[in-house]
Amino acid sequence: MIARGTVAQLLAALLVAQAFVVEAVEVRFQRVAENVYAHVGDIGARSVANEGLNANLGLVVTPAGAVLIDSGATFRSARDIHAAIRKVTEQPVRWVINTGGQDHRWLGNGYFEAQGAELIAHATAVPDMRARGGDQLAALRTLLGPAAEGTVPTLPKRLLEGPESRLELGGTVFEFRHRGGGHTPGDMMVWLPQAHVAFAGDIVYVDRLLAVLPVSSTRAWLDAFAALEQWAPKRIVPGHGGVTDLAAARSQTRAYLVALRAHMKRAVEEGVDISDAVKSFDAKPFLHLSNAAELNPGNASRTYLEVERE
């Protein structure tokens, strides 16, 4: 006969285990242009259901292999990404491009490196990955439990330098632009001139409000956006939200950053207290975006502090 205390302990353990039961995240690559695909992730927060993968990914199929743009948040989500790639092409994943240092951009690297892929990023992403990778993984372990097991922060080895770079991968031209960061210090955009498609990474958010982090630079972010406009892309795969165009990117990303910086610059120049500056910022034009009410106060306060340092 099992004692009551033992039964209670077993039930408690079962409830904890059930809390961490995670079905594979649904990764689905939709066609954007010939041989160019995108997975559009959840626009909400990281969750057990999405395995921490609440971001967009890119896939480019070349005659010599597939190029994955961003590798997912964990070893397990990377495995799910690979399964989705196999539904599109039989080509092996030979290259992985990390567009920045946020967890879902690179913590799946270890899985793909074990499959033989070469990992590529801008050189400025690596110090950020080193600095924040441990905390990012700890947060994912707390959220996902066993579903985060096997994830090992794996840094890219092929590093791009300077504001502009160009590579031929599998006979396909890839151009890259980095303007000092944005959402994260290593934020880098990818341009496919043949397809007129830009993978903007976290330089562009649509459908949901962007997030200004302690490591963000809103000034560099706007410089990067201006570099994106120079390409005049027909289609943009943003870091978050549906595949879009320049008009939507301007109204939902650039306009918010411009308004935020202008308001905080005036506040700093006039000696307005940070609390009053945050409260007086007019966010109404952007409150229709998902997560806006939660994210805007933090965005405003961090932008004030950034402008104050300039």
Look at residue 184 in the predicted model and tell me its pLDDT.
98
Contact assessment for residue 234 and residue 216, using Cβ atoms and an 8 Å cutoff:
no
Look at residue 25 in the predicted model and tell me its pLDDT.
80
Contact assessment for residue 242 and residue 195, using Cβ atoms and an 8 Å cutoff:
no
Question: Looking at the domain that runs over 24-245, which CATH code has it been given?
Answer: 3.60.15.10
Q: SS3 string of 24-93?
A: CCCCCCEEEECCEEEECCCCCCCCCCCCCCCCCEEEEEECCEEEEECCCCCHHHHHHHHHHHHCCCCCCE
Look at residue 304 in the predicted model and tell me its pLDDT.
98
Instruction: Return the closest-CA partner of residue 150 out of 119, 116, 102, 113.
Output: 113
228-271 pLDDT, tens digit each: 999 999 999 999 999 999 999 999 999 999 999 999 999 999 99
Angle, alpha carbons 119-123-128 (nearest 5°): 95
126-150 pLDDT, tens digit each: 999 999 999 999 999 999 999 999 9
d(CA 160, CA 178): 9
The residues of the chain scoring below 50 in pLDDT are 1-22
**Residue 169: CB atoms within 10 Å:** 18
d(CA 289, CA 62): 36
* In the chain, where the domains are located: 24-245
Which pTM does this prediction carry?
0.91
